[in-house]
Structure 1
Amino acid sequence: MANAIWHQWVGCEYRVLKTAKENIVSQRSASPVLSSYARLQRFILTALLCWTVFTPGAVQASEELHYALTVNVNFGQDLGQPLGSLFEVRDSQGEVVLGAGFASVYNTMLQGNRHELQLYLHGDRDEALEISSLPRPSPAMGTFITAYNGELLANAMNYGSPMVWDSASTTWREDTTAPRYYQTPVASGNLVFRPSQVEYQGRTIFASERTTALFFYGAGNLFAWEEGESDLSKAKVHAVPWTPDRDRADMDHAATLELATSSAFPYCYGVLDNEVLMVSNLGWLYGFDGEQWRLIQDNSGNVFQMYTMLNVYDRLLLGNFPTGGIYAWDGNTLEFVSAPLDYAHSGMFEAQTFALYGGDLYVGMWPWGELWRYSVLDNEWNLAARLFSHPERDSDLLTPYRSLLRTEFPSREYSSHSLGQRVYSLLPLSGSLYASTSARSGRDGRDIFHFLSQQELDQYGAVHRITAPTEASAQIRWTGEPTTFVLEVHSDSLRILQDGVE
């Protein structure tokens, strides 16, 4: 896999404000940031190209500034395109040591936070992550998390109102005004996806009398899945032209794709070179170039599903089931590139979620609730964490508690995979990486699995915070005009400013 991170580059103006290389070696052990910054001694600025902007940071800066970079950016119109990288800094060995950019990711029917700007300084190879558990947002056995106006928002699969994390009081608070369903930032507002309806800045831009869901916005089009009606009609995906300056999505000019069956639906989307890639639950790959759909790959008769997509350099990475492998799409060819697990080809592993954090790739892996990290410095996979303490990992067992579930439910009213463990969401936000967990469906009641303790049940639907001292991030302010970012490395922190404001 290629070094470093973000996709899509567009020229931007940059300026080095200050470096303090002479002071680094003697202070190397002062902090994790300084230890990492020592690798900048013989830095080489390469390919300082961008497409994106910068936002205020949530990290308090120390007194001593070691390195700063100014980037002037004009985004143009926000059409749902990958915003890409601001810059990379490489050392004399060609290794990326510092960078900033925006991740473009879609994790299992959930579009990521496109406007979160991440600044990272590569840490030491053996640097440990700090992982802490937040209080549970609800009793549900499945939780998905999103960013909403810069805050952490948790929704249960089948329980109650949205919950917003209050970091000051370290508690969740109910917010009935927050979206119960998915949303994503576009330009200066949020696209809010509700059943059969999409809203933007308080107005309805799309509504359908038929059941529509699983929305996505990319390349100037709003994508909406329409449910099929058994044998009467197949499911469809509509590509509906819309830009933030329009009052309504133009359904009269929609390009409609008929899926293979009435039960087919999208699992994930991505954008590469202005073409939208969509993969259905049947594993079929489709492309939309802005005018018409094309079938890229027909996987009839094969168990071949993609659950997540992420832009990395000039490719889209896709997470696969049942191998748990990572595939890459370059616009013409889909090929296998890597797998976190050597034994993943046994047939029950799913790379369900992607995230970029600290300059590395993270993958949430079913069915054992594992979080794997691909280190671009070492060019290898490492197990960053398992987000469940039970049961003991068994490479000979397809999913957790499978034998016990077969005994408890001999009539198979509940699947023997019901207690499989998902890393359902991965979300970089305000300098941390948040992860949420789920059982296989996340909708089953806790009382069904009476043979597990409350402590064991509580690990389904949990939210965890993962932190490293060598990342800062914040959601940008979309100005609609050229904007200036200053990215700073201090003795014990990283700092992000946009137009002079932190």
Structure 2
Amino acid sequence: MRILVLIWAILLTLLALQPSLPVLGAEPTDVMFSVDVDLDEDVGQAFGSLFEVRDSRGRVVAGAGFQDVYNTRFRTDRHTLQFFVRPETGDDEFTLERLPHPDLDCGIYLFDLDGQAYAWTSVGGNSVRRWDAESGAWVAELPPGVTNLRSGDGVMRVGQGLLAFSDDSATYDGRVILSPSQEGEYHDFYYAQGHLCFYHRKSEDDGFTKLYACPWKPSDPEPIDVSRAVVFDTPFDKEVPFAWGQWADQVLTVSNMGGIYVFEEGRWRMILAPDDKTSYQVYSMLHWHDRLLLAQYPTGNVFEYQGQEAKRLEGWPPVMPGVTSSARECQTLSIYRGDLLAGVWPWAELWRRDRDAGKWQFLDRMFTHPEITKEFQHPYESEANQLNLVTNHWGQRITGMIPHGDSLLLSTSSKGTVEWKDEYGFLSDEQRREYGAVLRLRIPGNLAAQIEWQDRPIKLDFTMRGDELVIRQDGEKLASTKLPAGFNANFADATVKWGSGVFGPLRGTLTSQVFQDPE
């Protein structure tokens, strides 16, 4: 009898040590991905994808990585990590809600830092508000590291420190690394590939515009030596950028006159000459799979770049039925829930690209007014003309896209970030507050979190358990979110591709990787 009891105890112990199996009515087991990753020294690179998962049909069902995108005025935080899971059915479902208005008049642009979302406008001497998710309100607060923030300025996390560009200079953790220029002004900074790049412009009669690439790393003890910069004189003295980007080891910028300039292997080269008579502007650049996407005006399309030239992708995105196909501007791009999203002027159209299905889905307009028409290119042209404004003054922009928790925050603007005036009475208060607004898009299955940078390899765990997504770093929870009832991701016979995916190839090293599914 004692022997039978002992055998039974051993069997119970062995069963307790076995991984749990899915049982009807029981709590589902974890789907878990775990990686040890060395992201190397942070020199402004696009970190890329950690993994991507495809089911037996080849459809993407999950992935994780770091987005690198520059939308018109600001670059999103490269240390924001996204984990996404796509359901087997209902993956085109979404909700859209308006957050409280930031009260920054007719236009704002979004940026983020350390998991915080900020709204910026030129009105009121470059006003900034931070979204306080806990109180559900916007508070007047600059990001750390700056006392002023103009268009072309910015703050970004590099390694464990804070790199700030403001007032014609740059600092790292409060230490001046670039002093103001002796003539003209430094502006529109971009740090990538171990170089601080920026425009240097003098606007007087003997004016000029120059591009600089200054070698610098956070570990450098001395300030930047501008005499070591690689400098390029642009053909026109009034060239300014709306966006920067990087592909492989190249840094790209496009001027307002269509000049495309590339910095690679210690030199600048021009791959498309500027033209001051023809409109060609790029408002956003996004690292996507193995290419860099450029959002362009006046086609309203995305162009792709893979090291040589920018090629137009016609119909990316399509034209919303009921409006004209001319003078369209693709202004904003983002990766959210594993899909490409694009915002298009002048009707603030939001589009989603389903790469597996090979089609675009129109999500919505970010404005409820006016009724769309082909009679005019832009909203409220007649009203703008009556007020002696430029005809496209009341064109409608989607100016920002920021992954934030389980959501994507979007911002809107008129053509410019202008002050509201009482004479604009043709708009009701409710209508005019759709300008300069922030909306929250939710597509179930996405989670964004800020990593804690370490100058060593880190362990990242991504878990889907029942109705919850969780991201952990070195055992500590970074973020979690609930999934809606009926969310039914299918990992049966799934395959994992490590170090590649929608966020581009990994710029780092995976030293271990584990995929645990409920099978």
TM-score, length-scaled by structure 1: 0.84
Q: Secondary structure at the match of 2:391?
A: coil
Asked whether 1:86 is paired with 2:50, we answer yes
Alpha-carbon separation, structure 1, partners of 2:324 and 2:364: 21
Match of 1:151 in 2: 116
The aligned amino acid for 1:131 is L
Match of 1:131 in 2: 96
Asked whether 1:395 is paired with 2:374, we answer yes
Q: CA shift at 1:71, angstroms?
A: 0.3
Match of 2:311 in 1: 335
Asked whether 1:102 is paired with 2:102, we answer no
Match of 2:15 in 1: none
Match of 1:308 in 2: 284
Asked whether 1:273 is paired with 2:238, we answer no
Alpha-carbon separation, structure 1, partners of 2:274 and 2:199: 20
CA contact (8 A) 2:246 2:252 kept: yes
Match of 1:69 in 2: 33
Q: CA shift at 1:299, angstroms?
A: 4.4
For 1:51-450, what aligned pairs fall within 5 Å after superposition? 64-123=28-87, 124-125=89-90, 127-159=92-124, 161-176=127-142, 178=144, 179=146, 180-181=148-149, 182-209=154-181, 210-246=184-220, 247-300=222-275, 301-338=277-314, 339-342=316-319, 346-409=325-388, 414-450=389-425
CA contact (8 A) 1:140 1:157 kept: no
The aligned amino acid for 1:93 is R
Question: In the TM superposition, what whole-angstrom CA distance separates every residue of 1:21-47 from its partner, at most 9, and x where no partner exists?
Answer: 856xx78xx9xxxxxxxxxxxxxxxxx
Alpha-carbon separation, structure 1, partners of 2:128 and 2:243: 23
Over the aligned positions, Cα root-mean-square deviation in angstroms equals 2.2
Stretches of 4+ moved more than 6 A in 1? 18-21
Question: In the TM superposition, what whole-angstrom CA distance separates every residue of 1:125-157 from its partner, at most 9, and x where no partner exists?
Answer: 454212111111223211112112211122222
Alpha-carbon separation, structure 2, partners of 1:373 and 1:22: 34
Alpha-carbon separation, structure 1, partners of 2:445 and 2:255: 37
The aligned amino acid for 1:110 is F
Q: Compared with structure 1, are the counterparts of its residues 445 and 393 closer, same or farther at alpha carbon in structure 2 (3 Å cutoff)?
A: same
Q: CA shift at 1:20, angstroms?
A: 7.9
Q: CA shift at 1:90, angstroms?
A: 0.6
Q: How many residues align?
A: 445
Q: CA shift at 1:324, angstroms?
A: 0.5
User: Is there any run of 5+ residues in structure 2 with no aligned partner, and where?
Assistant: 1-17, 478-519
Match of 2:430 in 1: 455
CA contact (8 A) 2:329 2:344 kept: yes
Q: CA shift at 1:111, angstroms?
A: 1.3
Alpha-carbon separation, structure 1, partners of 2:19 and 2:61: 14
Q: CA shift at 1:230, angstroms?
A: 4.2
Alpha-carbon separation, structure 1, partners of 2:267 and 2:21: 53
Q: Compared with structure 1, are the counterparts of its residues 396 and 493 closer, same or farther at alpha carbon in structure 2 (3 Å cutoff)?
A: farther
Q: Secondary structure at the match of 2:330?
A: strand
Q: CA shift at 1:122, angstroms?
A: 1.4
Q: Secondary structure at the match of 1:347?
A: coil
CA contact (8 A) 1:269 1:309 kept: yes
Identity %: 33
Work out which of the residue numbers 468, 472, 482 in structure 2 matches 1:493: 468
Q: CA shift at 1:388, angstroms?
A: 0.6
Alpha-carbon separation, structure 2, partners of 1:172 and 1:120: 28
Larger radius of gyration: 2
Q: Secondary structure at the match of 2:74?
A: coil
Question: In the TM superposition, what whole-angstrom CA distance separates every residue of 1:393-441 from its partner, at most 9, and x where no partner exists?
Answer: 11332111012222332xxxx2011111110111112221111111101
Q: Compared with structure 1, are the counterparts of its residues 314 and 81 closer, same or farther at alpha carbon in structure 2 (3 Å cutoff)?
A: same
Alpha-carbon separation, structure 2, partners of 1:481 and 1:107: 30
Q: CA shift at 1:268, angstroms?
A: 1.3
Q: Secondary structure at the match of 1:346?
A: coil
Q: Secondary structure at the match of 2:342?
A: strand
The aligned amino acid for 1:373 is R
CA contact (8 A) 1:193 1:215 kept: yes
CA contact (8 A) 2:22 2:28 kept: no
Alpha-carbon separation, structure 2, partners of 1:238 and 1:222: 8
The aligned amino acid for 1:487 is F
Q: Compared with structure 1, are the counterparts of its residues 148 and 282 closer, same or farther at alpha carbon in structure 2 (3 Å cutoff)?
A: same
Q: Secondary structure at the match of 1:449?
A: coil
Q: CA shift at 1:378, angstroms?
A: 2.1
CA contact (8 A) 1:141 1:439 kept: yes
Q: Secondary structure at the match of 2:422?
A: helix
Alpha-carbon separation, structure 2, partners of 1:21 and 1:103: 35
CA contact (8 A) 2:271 2:309 kept: no
TM-score, length-scaled by structure 2: 0.81
Alpha-carbon separation, structure 1, partners of 2:108 and 2:281: 22
